[in-house]
Every structure is written in C-alpha cells, then in structure tokens.
Amino acid sequence: MQIFPVINCSDRACVERHLAVLETFLPSGDFIHIDVADGIFTFHKTWNHPEEWPALRSPFPLEVHLMVEHPEDQIAPWLAAGAKRFVVPVEVIDQDSFRAIAEQCKAARAELMLSSNPETPQEDLTPYLHEVSRFQVLCVNPGLAGQKFLPLVLEKAKWLKYALPNAIIEIDGGIMPETAKLAKDAGANIIVSASYIFGSKDPKGAYEKLKKI
C-alpha cells in the first residue's frame, strides 16, 4: 500500500509546520493529501488558499480532498496551484457537475477519485463505475481528524473491488497500524493518515510503521 500523510489544518501556519515535518522524512515526489473542508458539507472548516500553495515550495505532489458543497468551483484554483489528483464526494455531485469536474481534470491531466461517506449506500457509486477507476472509502465522517475507525464500512471497499477489480481504493479515517491492516485486507491500495502521523512524538516512526503493514 501507499501511505499518504494528511494535512488537515485551519491556517497556513499549521500547513507550514506539517510540511516542515514531512520534509524531514518523506521522499520528495511522494504524494501528500490535503483536506479542504468548507464548514457546510463538513462540521468544521479548514485552510483553503490554493493561491498560497506555490509559495510554500512543497516538493510533494498534491492530492486535494474537496469536502465542499460545490467542488466543481474549486478545481481550477487548485489545478493552478499544481494539484495532481482530486478526491470529490459523491454526495455533492450530479451528472452535470461530475462532467464539469472530469473535463477540467482531463484537460490538466489530473486524476479524479470519488469518495463516499460511511452512511452513503454503495449503490450511489454505481453510475460512476465506468467513469472513474479511483475511489476513496471514508471510514469516519468527513472533516475532523482523529475520529474512530468504522470497520463495517470496509464492506464497501470489498464491493468496489468485486465490481471493478482494477479499481484503486483509498481508505481514509482512523488509520493506525491495526486499522491499516484491515484496510489492506479489504483491498486498499492507498491509506491516508493525519492524527496517527502528526499526533505522534515520532512522525517518521509512525509513518514507517504504516509502511510496513
């Protein structure tokens, strides 16, 4: 599995601190994942200033998780900032907004992944199974880091792998070594982690433990 550290921050200073930590151990060129929450689709709001991202001079390609009401309006600014992949909630799109997002990503050669909340039925993803090949399964409610992992949601990951054997599956939420093993067994290709890495006294050691799963 690939391990993507998550930046879940309320301000730029927090983003800078997290990047400084990552630069001490994460190989240049490895992906990082940034949570963008608008306080409407989610319970809280995070830093969302793509125009400031280039000045941070991050050496890591960026996966942007757009936990927002109108993700189609957020694609262009983050593409301009250099984002390489977007994670978009299936709960906030319809066929028209999906097309708008997909077209922007295709034109910029950026990858598109669809996410789903724990309570969202797997059938809501069915219309998109032949449109995208990357899916994120949220094992916590969207937004705040540090929530408890919901293992039953992994059944959705297993269903996706059965329905689309070549799908890339990302698991997000409540990740630590024990839950990372469950995610891997369910077919995960990628796991993302915020609190376990950045809440540790030894972020590098925490990251390495996840890499060994």
Q: Could you confirm whether 172 is annotated as catalytic?
A: yes
What the block records as the tokens of 149 is 């992992």
Closest CA to 64 of 131, 25, 7: 7
Amino acid at 183: A
What the block records as the tokens of 153 is 């949601």
**CA separation for the pair 46, 97 (Å, rounded):** 23
In the set 11, 30, 94, 172, the catalytic residue is 172
**CA separation for the pair 207, 44 (Å, rounded):** 26
Question: How many residues belong to the chain?
Answer: 213
Give the CA radius of gyration of the chain: 16
* DSSP E strands, 46-133: 62-67, 85-89, 111-116
In the set 11, 30, 35, 94, the catalytic residue is 35
CB 174 within 8 A of CB 139: yes
For 24, which DSSP code? T
Question: Distances in Å between the alpha carbon of 127 and those of 98, 132, 161, 191, 207?
Answer: 11, 10, 16, 24, 35
Q: Could you confirm whether 94 is annotated as catalytic?
A: no
Catalytic residue numbers read: 35, 172
